[in-house]
Amino acid sequence: MTGNAPLPAFPLAITAEEANSLLLEMADNRETALLFPDGFVVRQRTSPTLPFRQCYTLPDQPFFCDEPWQAPAGAMNQPGAARLLAPGATEACEVLITSDHSRAG
């Protein structure tokens, strides 16, 4: 399934139904903030080389994933969607993760 929708408001509660199975194109906003039930907030900021974010969990499992992606889902099957590097080329990506117990955005 593909489509477009506005980014959710952050911090986003990991217990919110809309928090699961998100694949977001972050545009110029490269930061997510996830709010856990005890007030713990995990913030993640990425470099422009990681413009997509996958958020998900599995039923009855004790984890929540906020995963940076370089391209949209299925990019290898969509002409022009995958980012390819020439042989010997390099590309740098950066991820900064911070946390606190503040509920403030």
User: Is residue 4 one of the residues assigned to a domain?
Assistant: no
- Supply the pTM of this predicted model: 0.76
User: Is residue 20 one of the residues assigned to a domain?
Assistant: no
> For 80-98, what is each residue's pLDDT tens digit?
888 888 999 999 999 999 9
- pLDDT band for 61, please (50, 70, 90 cuts): confident
Contacts 24+ apart (CB under 8 A), 31-38: 32/66, 33/105, 34/10, 34/64, 34/66, 35/11, 35/103, 36/64, 37/13, 38/101
Domain that holds residue 49: 10-15+31-76+91-105
Q: What is the pLDDT of residue 2?
A: 47
Q: How many domains does the chain have?
A: 1
Across the range 97-101, mean pLDDT stands at: 90
User: Is residue 84 one of the residues assigned to a domain?
Assistant: no
User: Is residue 101 one of the residues assigned to a domain?
Assistant: yes
| Higher-scoring residue by pLDDT: 41, 17 | 41
User: Is residue 56 one of the residues assigned to a domain?
Assistant: yes
